[in-house]
Chains A and B, each alone.
Chain A
């Protein structure tokens, strides 16, 4: 019997495989290693930030600040590397500490002041974007040997696909995220918090520590995504990655995580990212469709997944009531 919590994940996986097969049937070039490598490289920053978003949404929260934090990180790195002689690695550590602390601070406000995450992270979004603008309004190029070195790290597969370092960083983030969620006490607490604050408190979940940790993780991963984005574009630009937080939320939901929290897997988010990347690739391959179709398709997918979730919740609760056990929801 398939557990209903796994069903959304399976649906996501099937959607991806089916979509890829359809794309490949129409454009055989879709099967090239280039497309596979592009899916990983081009979505690296989005994937990393979506791992953090999975944590947040699993706990029943939301983090709207991540897109701005990515932009801030990029501008911060670019300005620091331009104006000082600090080594990029030191700058990375510095910016990660900064963004993690920023996330933790938002988590603390959410918990101690009992504010809705939506409002607190909305404030965080404006704050981080504003801070990026204050540092520089121009696109600041990053020219450093160490950046050239990191960018030169790639594996060139037969067929021309380049698997770059940043794609590997994203895969690592997903593996680490999965391990933390399923193998640690913190992970259990995240799921418990998503099941309901009152229940979690009764279960003895340390609410303060968990909430702060969740937003710190999201902030830290947004910082990491910012580093990856700066490697991706070799520049810091305060106007970059506007709306990425919404793409990340979409990927998490398409990945089968329940928006109200409690159910979901980072693996689903990974395929959510790939599905979104695939849609974009298909539209470019086609070349005649307006690229805004990406948004329409993602919107439709989101709606379908929300309906699926609603259906599943409804089926599970009614099943519990009737106690029929193995009935598969339709």
Chain B
């Protein structure tokens, strides 16, 4: 009897979860498709929603905040169960988030946070940019193992938070290791072409044999720099160690070919943890922490990068 009632009770608690997942509608306001990573994030979000049987309403804001606010308001009017928001800027969300809270629709922030009161959103799923830089720095410290090493750095867009934080994290990791020295640091604007141009100037100014490692704030710049290093007659990955961040397919390919040494993944799967948190919240009111940090996985030549490349290349990067 007791067993039966326990079974019944668990069935009752399980039922609404299953029922909920089946007809759950989630609105996703995406910034746009300005970078390969963002396109991949969109693809992965759609896949995650589909695998859970969630009806995903997707709205591309074409880089405009007004479009995002409009989309959010339309989601609220439509009465979706939850909203995923990848905010284009940090400011100006209070009013529309209040409206969502008023309609009791939980909002989860993806990839970036906002300057609004914490109570206005359920949680934010982001990577830790400082930590990414730190992982990159730590890898280099371990790799050179105490030998003298002159490092050049390709920074992201001046003043952007990824550039600032990834620089900070890297410097933190290098702190106290006097054998490592950042001799040159300049912006490559997160682009492949600028990465190449700036690396060429580094090679000219320092002399290729005097540079032992390159740290780029994203893979695109590193891929551009690899080109510059090859053109200077040096072997990227051997003569100059290369570590970057993002883990885009081309970086995996470069590692597989031995032209790059390490990359730290900025996972495009922000929606997975977000939807997990949402499902738990809607099922029994489990409140997630205000910040869910995604894993910053390190990929080196020890991993099967060819396989990862094959898997990632169709995500839209």
Contact = CB atoms under 8 A, between A and B. Distances in A.
B77 A141 contact: no
Contact of B62 (A160, A277, A291): A291
Contacts of B92: 139, 141, 232-235
Given A42-B70, A280-B70, A281-B74, A234 B94 contact: yes
B91 interface: yes
Interface string A264-287: 000000000000010011011111
Contact of A237 (B58, B65, B74, B103): B65
A287 B27 contact: yes
Contacts of A229: 66
Interface string A288-321: 1011100000000000000000000000000000
A139 B58 contact: no
B95 A160 contact: no
Nearest to B55: A287
Contacts of A285: 57, 74, 78
A32 interface: yes
A284 B66 contact: no
Given A27-B78, A240-B65, A287-B56, A151 B91 contact: no
A15 interface: no
A14 B11 CA distance: 54
Interface in B52-84: 55-62, 64-67, 69-71, 73-79
Contacts, number: 101
A41 interface: yes
B306 to A, nearest CB: 33
A129 interface: no
Contacts of B66: 42, 45, 229, 232-233, 240-241
A186 interface: no
Given A141-B91, A291-B59, A233 B73 contact: no
A237 B59 contact: no
B22 interface: no
B61 A291 contact: yes
Interface in A148-188: 151, 160-162
B280 interface: no
A38 interface: yes
Nearest to A27: B78
A34 B126 CA distance: 31
A284 B90 contact: no
Contacts of A81: none
A110 B23 CA distance: 59
B310 interface: no
A35 interface: yes
Given A284-B59, A284-B74, A285-B78, A162 B99 contact: yes
Contacts of A123: none
Given A35-B74, A285-B78, A235 B58 contact: no
A29 interface: yes
Interface string B138-177: 0000000000000000000001000000000000000000
A42 B78 contact: no
A41 B89 CA distance: 20
Contact of A151 (B55, B78, B95): B95
A290 B115 CA distance: 28
Contact of B95 (A234, A277, A281, A287): A234
B236 to A, nearest CB: 34
B72 to A, nearest CB: 9
B69 A292 contact: no
B82 to A, nearest CB: 13
A285 B94 CA distance: 22
B78 A233 contact: no
Nearest to B116: A234
B88 to A, nearest CB: 9
B304 interface: no
B65 A29 contact: no
B102 interface: yes
A141 B74 contact: no
A42 B69 contact: yes
B75 A284 contact: yes
Nearest to B79: A29
Complex A-B, nearest 4 residue pairs according to Cβ-Cβ distance, in ascending order: A287-B57, A233-B92, A235-B91, A34-B77
Given A241-B66, A287-B58, A291-B62, 10 more contacts: A42-B73, A137-B159, A140-B91, A151-B94, A234-B94, A235-B89, A235-B92, A242-B64, A287-B27, A291-B59
28 contacts: A29-B77, A34-B77, A42-B70, A138-B159, A139-B89, A139-B92, A141-B90, A141-B91, A233-B92, A234-B95, A235-B89, A235-B92, A237-B65, A237-B89, A280-B67, A280-B70, A281-B74, A284-B27, A284-B59, A284-B74, A287-B55, A287-B57, A287-B58, A288-B57, A288-B58, A291-B60, A291-B61, A292-B62
